[in-house]
Amino acid sequence: MGKRNQTLGEFIIENQEEFKYSSGELSRLINSIRLAAKVVNHEVNKAGLVDILGAAGETNIQGEDQQKLDVYANDIFIKTLTNREIVCGIASEEEDDFITIQGRNKKNDNKYVVLMDPLDGSSNIDVNVSVGTIFSVYRRVTPAGSPVTIEDFLQPGKNQVAAGYIVYGTSTMIVYSTGHGVNGFTLNPAIGTYYLSHPNMQFPVDGNIYSVNEGNYVHFPQGVKDYIKYCQKEEDNRPYTSRYIGSLVSDFHRNMIKGGIYIYPNTAKDPQGKLRLLYECNPMAYLAEHSGGSASNGFERILDIIPTELHQRVPFFCGSKNMVAKAEEFMRNA
Protein backbone atom coordinates (compact mmCIF):
# COMPACT_ATOMS: atom_id res chain seq x y z
CA MET A 1 0.00 0.00 0.00
CA GLY A 2 1.29 3.42 -0.91
CA LYS A 3 2.40 6.21 1.38
CA ARG A 4 0.60 9.54 1.47
CA ASN A 5 3.59 11.56 0.22
CA GLN A 6 4.03 9.20 -2.73
CA THR A 7 3.52 10.59 -6.23
CA LEU A 8 1.21 8.92 -8.73
CA GLY A 9 4.22 8.08 -10.92
CA GLU A 10 6.00 6.36 -8.02
CA PHE A 11 2.83 4.51 -7.07
CA ILE A 12 2.33 3.19 -10.62
CA ILE A 13 5.91 1.89 -10.80
CA GLU A 14 5.75 0.33 -7.33
CA ASN A 15 2.47 -1.47 -7.99
CA GLN A 16 2.74 -2.52 -11.64
CA GLU A 17 3.80 -6.05 -10.69
CA GLU A 18 0.33 -6.57 -9.18
CA PHE A 19 -1.05 -6.52 -12.70
CA LYS A 20 -1.10 -10.05 -14.06
CA TYR A 21 -0.29 -9.10 -17.66
CA SER A 22 2.39 -6.67 -16.53
CA SER A 23 4.45 -5.50 -19.48
CA GLY A 24 4.50 -1.86 -18.48
CA GLU A 25 1.71 -1.14 -20.96
CA LEU A 26 -1.00 -0.56 -18.39
CA SER A 27 1.35 1.70 -16.41
CA ARG A 28 2.02 3.74 -19.54
CA LEU A 29 -1.71 3.92 -20.20
CA ILE A 30 -2.47 5.28 -16.70
CA ASN A 31 0.43 7.71 -17.14
CA SER A 32 -1.03 9.02 -20.39
CA ILE A 33 -4.45 9.51 -18.73
CA ARG A 34 -2.65 11.42 -15.96
CA LEU A 35 -1.08 13.72 -18.56
CA ALA A 36 -4.35 14.32 -20.45
CA ALA A 37 -6.13 15.03 -17.16
CA LYS A 38 -3.60 17.76 -16.35
CA VAL A 39 -4.23 19.45 -19.70
CA VAL A 40 -8.03 19.23 -19.36
CA ASN A 41 -7.81 20.42 -15.73
CA HIS A 42 -5.91 23.51 -16.84
CA GLU A 43 -8.60 24.28 -19.42
CA VAL A 44 -11.51 23.60 -17.03
CA ASN A 45 -9.98 25.90 -14.43
CA LYS A 46 -9.72 28.82 -16.83
CA ALA A 47 -13.08 28.14 -18.47
CA GLY A 48 -14.58 31.34 -17.10
CA LEU A 49 -11.80 33.42 -18.61
CA VAL A 50 -11.90 32.38 -22.25
CA ASP A 51 -14.46 31.66 -24.91
CA ILE A 52 -14.62 27.95 -24.26
CA LEU A 53 -17.79 27.94 -22.19
CA GLY A 54 -21.16 27.03 -23.57
CA ALA A 55 -22.38 24.80 -26.35
CA ALA A 56 -20.28 23.91 -29.38
CA GLY A 57 -23.27 23.96 -31.69
CA GLU A 58 -23.25 20.23 -32.35
CA THR A 59 -24.96 17.31 -30.71
CA ASN A 60 -23.28 14.05 -29.78
CA ILE A 61 -24.51 10.54 -30.61
CA GLN A 62 -26.81 10.76 -27.56
CA GLY A 63 -28.65 13.77 -29.06
CA GLU A 64 -27.33 16.02 -26.29
CA ASP A 65 -25.83 19.42 -27.02
CA GLN A 66 -22.07 19.17 -26.81
CA GLN A 67 -20.46 21.74 -24.54
CA LYS A 68 -17.27 23.22 -25.99
CA LEU A 69 -15.23 21.69 -23.20
CA ASP A 70 -16.74 18.25 -23.97
CA VAL A 71 -15.24 18.45 -27.44
CA TYR A 72 -11.94 19.76 -26.13
CA ALA A 73 -11.60 17.03 -23.47
CA ASN A 74 -12.56 14.35 -25.98
CA ASP A 75 -9.86 15.56 -28.40
CA ILE A 76 -7.17 15.77 -25.71
CA PHE A 77 -7.74 12.26 -24.35
CA ILE A 78 -7.92 10.73 -27.84
CA LYS A 79 -4.76 12.54 -29.00
CA THR A 80 -2.80 11.63 -25.88
CA LEU A 81 -3.71 7.95 -26.06
CA THR A 82 -3.21 7.79 -29.84
CA ASN A 83 0.13 9.60 -29.99
CA ARG A 84 1.69 7.34 -27.40
CA GLU A 85 0.51 4.20 -29.21
CA ILE A 86 -0.54 2.55 -25.95
CA VAL A 87 -4.00 1.34 -26.94
CA CYS A 88 -5.40 -0.36 -30.02
CA GLY A 89 -8.84 1.22 -29.82
CA ILE A 90 -10.88 3.93 -28.10
CA ALA A 91 -14.61 4.35 -27.63
CA SER A 92 -15.98 7.65 -26.35
CA GLU A 93 -19.41 8.84 -25.37
CA GLU A 94 -18.83 11.75 -27.74
CA GLU A 95 -18.06 9.58 -30.80
CA ASP A 96 -20.58 7.73 -32.96
CA ASP A 97 -18.33 4.71 -33.41
CA PHE A 98 -15.19 3.27 -31.88
CA ILE A 99 -11.78 4.47 -33.09
CA THR A 100 -9.22 2.00 -34.42
CA ILE A 101 -5.63 2.97 -33.70
CA GLN A 102 -2.94 1.72 -36.04
CA GLY A 103 0.70 1.78 -35.07
CA ARG A 104 3.49 3.16 -37.23
CA ASN A 105 3.77 -0.22 -38.95
CA LYS A 106 0.02 -0.14 -39.77
CA LYS A 107 -0.46 -2.92 -37.22
CA ASN A 108 -1.29 -2.57 -33.59
CA ASP A 109 0.13 -5.07 -31.14
CA ASN A 110 -1.16 -3.23 -28.08
CA LYS A 111 -3.44 -5.22 -25.82
CA TYR A 112 -5.85 -2.65 -24.42
CA VAL A 113 -8.92 -0.66 -25.39
CA VAL A 114 -10.14 2.39 -23.50
CA LEU A 115 -13.74 3.55 -23.14
CA MET A 116 -14.44 6.98 -21.71
CA ASP A 117 -16.80 9.77 -20.87
CA PRO A 118 -14.37 12.65 -21.43
CA LEU A 119 -16.34 15.28 -19.51
CA ASP A 120 -19.15 14.04 -17.29
CA GLY A 121 -21.55 16.67 -15.92
CA SER A 122 -20.31 19.32 -18.33
CA SER A 123 -23.49 21.38 -18.08
CA ASN A 124 -22.23 22.26 -14.58
CA ILE A 125 -19.20 24.13 -15.94
CA ASP A 126 -21.14 27.32 -16.61
CA VAL A 127 -22.05 27.49 -12.90
CA ASN A 128 -18.60 26.51 -11.56
CA VAL A 129 -19.64 23.12 -10.18
CA SER A 130 -17.40 20.03 -10.27
CA VAL A 131 -17.17 17.95 -13.44
CA GLY A 132 -15.15 14.84 -14.22
CA THR A 133 -13.71 12.32 -16.66
CA ILE A 134 -14.54 8.59 -16.45
CA PHE A 135 -12.41 5.87 -18.03
CA SER A 136 -12.51 2.12 -18.40
CA VAL A 137 -9.81 -0.28 -19.66
CA TYR A 138 -10.25 -3.77 -21.15
CA ARG A 139 -7.84 -6.30 -22.57
CA ARG A 140 -8.78 -6.84 -26.22
CA VAL A 141 -10.34 -10.17 -27.18
CA THR A 142 -9.37 -10.14 -30.87
CA PRO A 143 -5.82 -11.15 -31.90
CA ALA A 144 -3.03 -8.59 -31.44
CA GLY A 145 -1.87 -7.07 -34.71
CA SER A 146 -5.35 -7.10 -36.26
CA PRO A 147 -7.71 -4.10 -36.24
CA VAL A 148 -10.03 -3.93 -33.23
CA THR A 149 -13.66 -4.90 -33.72
CA ILE A 150 -16.87 -4.10 -31.87
CA GLU A 151 -16.46 -7.24 -29.74
CA ASP A 152 -13.36 -5.75 -28.11
CA PHE A 153 -15.63 -3.06 -26.65
CA LEU A 154 -18.82 -5.03 -25.97
CA GLN A 155 -17.42 -6.89 -22.97
CA PRO A 156 -19.17 -7.25 -19.61
CA GLY A 157 -17.87 -4.90 -16.93
CA LYS A 158 -16.40 -7.78 -14.92
CA ASN A 159 -13.75 -8.08 -17.68
CA GLN A 160 -12.35 -4.61 -16.93
CA VAL A 161 -8.67 -4.56 -15.97
CA ALA A 162 -8.72 -0.96 -14.75
CA ALA A 163 -11.15 1.91 -14.30
CA GLY A 164 -11.17 5.32 -12.75
CA TYR A 165 -12.28 8.91 -12.84
CA ILE A 166 -10.82 12.38 -12.56
CA VAL A 167 -12.81 14.94 -10.59
CA TYR A 168 -12.09 18.58 -11.45
CA GLY A 169 -13.31 20.26 -8.28
CA THR A 170 -12.00 22.43 -5.45
CA SER A 171 -8.97 20.21 -5.93
CA THR A 172 -8.34 17.90 -8.87
CA MET A 173 -8.14 14.19 -8.12
CA ILE A 174 -7.51 10.96 -10.02
CA VAL A 175 -9.21 7.95 -8.42
CA TYR A 176 -8.51 4.57 -10.02
CA SER A 177 -8.18 0.83 -9.51
CA THR A 178 -6.44 -2.00 -11.35
CA GLY A 179 -8.32 -4.56 -9.25
CA HIS A 180 -6.21 -4.16 -6.10
CA GLY A 181 -8.05 -1.54 -4.08
CA VAL A 182 -9.05 2.00 -5.01
CA ASN A 183 -6.64 4.89 -4.50
CA GLY A 184 -7.05 8.64 -4.87
CA PHE A 185 -4.36 11.13 -5.94
CA THR A 186 -4.68 14.90 -5.58
CA LEU A 187 -2.98 17.33 -7.96
CA ASN A 188 -0.60 19.90 -6.51
CA PRO A 189 -1.13 22.58 -9.16
CA ALA A 190 2.00 24.51 -8.13
CA ILE A 191 4.27 21.73 -9.42
CA GLY A 192 1.86 19.70 -11.57
CA THR A 193 2.28 16.49 -9.57
CA TYR A 194 -0.39 14.12 -8.22
CA TYR A 195 0.18 12.84 -4.68
CA LEU A 196 -1.47 9.86 -2.98
CA SER A 197 -4.03 11.55 -0.72
CA HIS A 198 -6.71 8.85 -0.31
CA PRO A 199 -5.08 5.40 0.01
CA ASN A 200 -7.31 2.32 -0.02
CA MET A 201 -10.64 4.14 -0.37
CA GLN A 202 -13.65 2.24 1.02
CA PHE A 203 -17.40 2.69 0.71
CA PRO A 204 -18.95 2.63 4.20
CA VAL A 205 -21.22 -0.45 4.31
CA ASP A 206 -24.09 1.80 5.43
CA GLY A 207 -24.69 5.43 4.59
CA ASN A 208 -27.22 8.19 5.16
CA ILE A 209 -27.12 10.05 1.83
CA TYR A 210 -29.30 9.34 -1.19
CA SER A 211 -28.56 11.03 -4.51
CA VAL A 212 -31.34 11.10 -7.07
CA ASN A 213 -33.05 13.76 -9.19
CA GLU A 214 -36.32 13.92 -7.26
CA GLY A 215 -37.72 16.31 -9.84
CA ASN A 216 -38.46 13.20 -11.92
CA TYR A 217 -40.20 11.45 -9.01
CA VAL A 218 -43.59 11.10 -10.74
CA HIS A 219 -41.91 9.25 -13.64
CA PHE A 220 -39.93 6.82 -11.46
CA PRO A 221 -40.76 3.10 -11.21
CA GLN A 222 -42.81 2.23 -8.13
CA GLY A 223 -39.86 0.49 -6.47
CA VAL A 224 -37.77 3.68 -6.60
CA LYS A 225 -40.67 5.76 -5.25
CA ASP A 226 -41.03 3.29 -2.37
CA TYR A 227 -37.30 3.41 -1.63
CA ILE A 228 -37.30 7.23 -1.56
CA LYS A 229 -40.23 7.17 0.88
CA TYR A 230 -38.23 4.73 3.00
CA CYS A 231 -35.22 7.13 2.93
CA GLN A 232 -37.45 10.00 4.07
CA LYS A 233 -39.22 8.14 6.88
CA GLU A 234 -38.40 9.09 10.46
CA GLU A 235 -37.28 5.76 11.86
CA ASP A 236 -34.04 4.23 13.11
CA ASN A 237 -31.26 6.41 11.60
CA ARG A 238 -33.53 8.01 9.05
CA PRO A 239 -34.53 10.28 7.41
CA TYR A 240 -31.47 10.22 5.18
CA THR A 241 -29.99 13.35 3.68
CA SER A 242 -30.72 14.12 0.03
CA ARG A 243 -27.68 15.33 -1.92
CA TYR A 244 -27.65 15.59 -5.72
CA ILE A 245 -25.02 17.52 -7.69
CA GLY A 246 -25.97 16.32 -11.16
CA SER A 247 -22.46 15.13 -11.99
CA LEU A 248 -22.05 11.36 -11.60
CA VAL A 249 -18.35 11.67 -10.75
CA SER A 250 -19.02 14.22 -8.00
CA ASP A 251 -22.00 12.39 -6.51
CA PHE A 252 -20.17 9.05 -6.56
CA HIS A 253 -17.02 10.57 -5.05
CA ARG A 254 -18.91 12.14 -2.15
CA ASN A 255 -20.89 8.98 -1.46
CA MET A 256 -17.77 6.79 -1.50
CA ILE A 257 -16.17 9.01 1.14
CA LYS A 258 -19.23 9.66 3.31
CA GLY A 259 -21.49 6.65 2.62
CA GLY A 260 -24.52 6.85 0.36
CA ILE A 261 -26.36 5.62 -2.72
CA TYR A 262 -26.60 7.15 -6.19
CA ILE A 263 -29.71 6.32 -8.22
CA TYR A 264 -30.47 7.12 -11.84
CA PRO A 265 -33.47 4.92 -12.63
CA ASN A 266 -35.36 4.37 -15.83
CA THR A 267 -38.35 6.67 -16.29
CA ALA A 268 -41.36 6.88 -18.59
CA LYS A 269 -39.29 9.24 -20.78
CA ASP A 270 -36.14 7.07 -20.67
CA PRO A 271 -37.41 3.47 -20.31
CA GLN A 272 -33.88 2.03 -20.58
CA GLY A 273 -32.40 4.57 -18.17
CA LYS A 274 -30.19 7.52 -19.05
CA LEU A 275 -26.63 6.60 -18.05
CA ARG A 276 -24.39 4.66 -20.43
CA LEU A 277 -23.38 1.17 -19.44
CA LEU A 278 -19.94 1.25 -21.07
CA TYR A 279 -18.77 4.80 -20.36
CA GLU A 280 -20.32 5.51 -16.94
CA CYS A 281 -21.92 2.56 -15.18
CA ASN A 282 -19.32 -0.18 -15.73
CA PRO A 283 -16.29 1.86 -14.59
CA MET A 284 -18.15 3.23 -11.56
CA ALA A 285 -19.45 -0.25 -10.69
CA TYR A 286 -15.88 -1.60 -10.92
CA LEU A 287 -14.65 1.09 -8.54
CA ALA A 288 -17.59 0.52 -6.19
CA GLU A 289 -16.99 -3.22 -5.96
CA HIS A 290 -13.24 -2.78 -5.41
CA SER A 291 -13.96 -0.38 -2.55
CA GLY A 292 -16.55 -2.50 -0.73
CA GLY A 293 -19.66 -1.05 -2.40
CA SER A 294 -22.00 -2.48 -5.01
CA ALA A 295 -23.76 -1.52 -8.22
CA SER A 296 -26.94 -2.81 -9.81
CA ASN A 297 -29.57 -1.98 -12.42
CA GLY A 298 -32.14 -2.61 -9.69
CA PHE A 299 -32.29 -6.35 -10.32
CA GLU A 300 -28.87 -7.61 -11.38
CA ARG A 301 -25.20 -6.77 -10.93
CA ILE A 302 -24.04 -4.11 -13.40
CA LEU A 303 -20.73 -5.91 -14.06
CA ASP A 304 -22.58 -9.05 -15.25
CA ILE A 305 -24.59 -7.29 -17.98
CA ILE A 306 -23.51 -8.34 -21.50
CA PRO A 307 -23.53 -5.17 -23.66
CA THR A 308 -25.19 -5.29 -27.06
CA GLU A 309 -24.34 -1.79 -28.34
CA LEU A 310 -21.73 0.90 -27.73
CA HIS A 311 -24.11 3.53 -26.40
CA GLN A 312 -26.38 1.24 -24.39
CA ARG A 313 -28.19 2.80 -21.43
CA VAL A 314 -29.15 1.15 -18.15
CA PRO A 315 -30.79 2.10 -14.84
CA PHE A 316 -28.11 2.60 -12.17
CA PHE A 317 -28.09 2.02 -8.40
CA CYS A 318 -24.61 2.37 -6.92
CA GLY A 319 -23.08 2.94 -3.51
CA SER A 320 -22.91 1.56 0.00
CA LYS A 321 -23.62 -2.17 -0.07
CA ASN A 322 -26.52 -2.25 2.39
CA MET A 323 -28.24 0.74 0.77
CA VAL A 324 -28.08 -0.83 -2.70
CA ALA A 325 -29.40 -4.13 -1.30
CA LYS A 326 -32.35 -2.29 0.32
CA ALA A 327 -33.13 -0.44 -2.93
CA GLU A 328 -33.08 -3.76 -4.83
CA GLU A 329 -35.47 -5.21 -2.25
CA PHE A 330 -37.95 -2.41 -2.96
CA MET A 331 -37.53 -2.91 -6.71
CA ARG A 332 -38.26 -6.67 -6.42
CA ASN A 333 -41.28 -6.13 -4.18
CA ALA A 334 -42.90 -3.30 -6.17
Whether the per-residue pLDDT at 52 is higher than 80: the answer is: no
* Same domain? 159 vs 221: no
| Confidence (pTM) | 0.93
Domain boundary among 198, 219, 241: 198
Whether the per-residue pLDDT at 221 is higher than 90: the answer is: yes
191: in domain: yes
Question: How many whole angstroms separate alpha carbon 174 and alpha carbon 8?
Answer: 9
Per-residue pLDDT reduced to its tens digit, 161-202? 999 999 998 889 999 999 999 999 999 988 989 999 999 999
Q: Using an 8 Å Cβ cutoff, are 244 and 209 in contact?
A: no
Q: Which residues, 6 or more positions from 137, have their beta carbon under 8 angstroms from its beta carbon? A: 26, 29, 112, 113, 114, 115, 160, 161, 162, 163
2: in domain: no
| Domain extent at residue 322 | 209-333
Is 85 known to sit in a ligand binding site? Answer: no
Is 117 known to sit in a ligand binding site? Answer: yes
Per-residue pLDDT reduced to its tens digit, 92-115? 999 999 999 986 666 678 889 999
* Same domain? 173 vs 97: yes
203: in domain: no
Report which of 312, 311, 281, 314 is spatially closest to residue 98, judged by C-alpha positions. Answer: 311
Q: Using an 8 Å Cβ cutoff, are 174 and 8 in contact?
A: yes
If you ran DSSP here, which 8-state letter would residue 111 be given? Answer: -
**How many structural domains comprise the chain?**
2
pLDDT in the model for residue 67 = 64
* CATH of residue 73: 3.30.540.10
- End-to-end CA, the chain: 43
Q: Using an 8 Å Cβ cutoff, are 247 and 275 in contact?
A: no
Angle between helices 321-333 and 222-232 (to 10 degrees): 130
If you ran DSSP here, which 8-state letter would residue 291 be given? Answer: T
Question: How many whole angstroms separate alpha carbon 126 and alpha carbon 301?
Answer: 35
54: in domain: yes
Per-residue pLDDT reduced to its tens digit, 264-315? 999 988 999 999 999 999 999 999 999 999 999 999 999 999 999 999 999 9
Is 309 known to sit in a ligand binding site? Answer: no
218: in domain: yes
Instruction: Mark out the alpha helices in the chain (DSSP H runs).
Output: 8-15, 25-45, 68-83, 150-153, 222-232, 248-258, 282-289, 321-333
* Same domain? 119 vs 215: no
Is 244 known to sit in a ligand binding site? Answer: yes
DSSP element (H, E) containing 162: strand 160-168
* Same domain? 194 vs 213: no
Question: How many whole angstroms separate alpha carbon 234 and alpha carbon 268?
Answer: 29
Q: Using an 8 Å Cβ cutoff, are 214 and 15 in contact?
A: no
Distances (CA, A) of 131 to 32, 45, 90, 217: 20, 11, 21, 24
222: in domain: yes
Q: Using an 8 Å Cβ cutoff, are 31 and 12 in contact?
A: yes
Q: Using an 8 Å Cβ cutoff, are 186 and 5 in contact?
A: no
* CATH of residue 267: 3.40.190.80
* Same domain? 139 vs 230: no
* Same domain? 187 vs 217: no
* Same domain? 225 vs 251: yes
Domain boundary among 198, 224, 244: 198
Q: Using an 8 Å Cβ cutoff, are 136 and 279 in contact?
A: yes
* Same domain? 106 vs 139: yes
* Same domain? 252 vs 191: no
Question: How many whole angstroms separate alpha carbon 228 and alpha carbon 248?
Answer: 19
Domain boundary among 165, 198, 231: 198
Report phi then psi at 172, rounded to 5.
-100, 130
Is 25 known to sit in a ligand binding site? Answer: no
* Same domain? 189 vs 95: yes
Is 255 known to sit in a ligand binding site? Answer: no
57: in domain: yes
* Same domain? 269 vs 174: no
Is 120 known to sit in a ligand binding site? Answer: yes
Question: How many whole angstroms separate alpha carbon 330 and alpha carbon 232?
Answer: 14
Is 274 known to sit in a ligand binding site? Answer: yes
Per-residue pLDDT reduced to its tens digit, 115-157? 999 999 877 777 778 889 999 999 999 998 889 999 999 999 9
Whether the per-residue pLDDT at 215 is higher than 90: the answer is: yes
Per-residue pLDDT reduced to its tens digit, 2-47? 577 899 989 988 887 766 555 678 888 888 999 999 999 888 887 6
* Same domain? 216 vs 129: no
Is 119 known to sit in a ligand binding site? Answer: yes
Averaged pLDDT for residues 57-85 = 80
Is 92 known to sit in a ligand binding site? Answer: no
86: in domain: yes
Q: Using an 8 Å Cβ cutoff, are 137 and 163 in contact?
A: yes
Averaged pLDDT for residues 49-76 = 72
Is 121 known to sit in a ligand binding site? Answer: yes
